[in-house]
A = this chain, B = another copy of it.
Amino acid sequence: MAGRTDTKTRILDAAEKLFAERGFSETSLRLITSKAEVNLASVNYHFGSKKELIRAVLARYLDVFMPTAATEIKRLHLAPEHASLNEIFSALIKPLLDLNKVRNGGTIIFLQLLGRGYIESQGHLRWFITTHYGQHLSTFVQAVSASAPHIPPAEMFWRLHFTLGTIVFTMASADALNEIAASDYGEHNNTEAIIRKVIPYMAAGVAVPVTSNE
């Protein structure tokens, strides 16, 4: 290995921030490399293509988040009583907030990347995540299902995606919403506060009894 050994890291750091706040296709390699203060061609040299850079950015977070999240969920399973939905969702708070230790603003960056990826990539990210982290994912789904046994699997499938939409859309607009909330209600929430607001909302929605609509 040679050269300033952190060129790859500089690119990843600059890219994830820009991707999170403006989206993948709205972020050019020239913008990334100028913010990272590296040469344009270094992206293709180190990552091969922009698409693979996007994958690398996401993987750097998923590789940290997924295992620790799954561990937390399994820890809940060991408890004598079944955990409540609120507890299960809350078990994700620590893994999420730990991403702030990995990098400044890591939590919200990760959630924003997730949202951008789901919406922009037309299913590619969904496929990538389920094939690479399917084990961890089903641990989570099983825990939720066990905690809300009155919800049939197909209905649970939809509700968990509602949940994903709730958190991901919220985080994508978090900055804008926070500004409005601050000026209209004098509130000032950080990422953790927003997560703690959204969990009861999601838990209630996931568990609400299925009714044949009037």
Contact = CB atoms under 8 A, between A and B. Distances in A.
Interface residues of A, number: 55
Interface in A141-195: 153-155, 157-159, 161-162, 164-170, 172-173, 176-177, 180-181, 184-185, 187, 194
A211 interface: yes
B169 A165 contact: yes
How many monomers of this protein are in the complex? 2
Contact of A120 (B23, B123, B196): B23
Interface string A195-214: 01111111111111011011
Nearest to A212: B196
Nearest to A127: B176
Contacts of A118: 169, 173
A209 to B, nearest CB: 8
A25 interface: yes
Interface string A10-43: 0000000000001101100000000000000000
Contact of A157 (B122, B123, B184, B213): B184
A54 to B, nearest CB: 14
Q: Which of A169, A177, A185, A198 has the most CB of B within 10 A?
A: A169
Interface of A: 22-23, 25-26, 90, 115-116, 118-120, 122-123, 126, 153-155, 157-159, 161-162, 164-170, 172-173, 176-177, 180-181, 184-185, 187, 194, 196-208, 210-211, 213-214
24 contacts: A22-B122, A25-B25, A25-B26, A90-B213, A116-B119, A122-B176, A154-B184, A155-B197, A157-B180, A157-B181, A157-B184, A157-B185, A158-B177, A162-B166, A162-B201, A162-B202, A165-B165, A165-B168, A165-B169, A166-B169, A168-B169, A200-B211, A202-B205, A205-B205
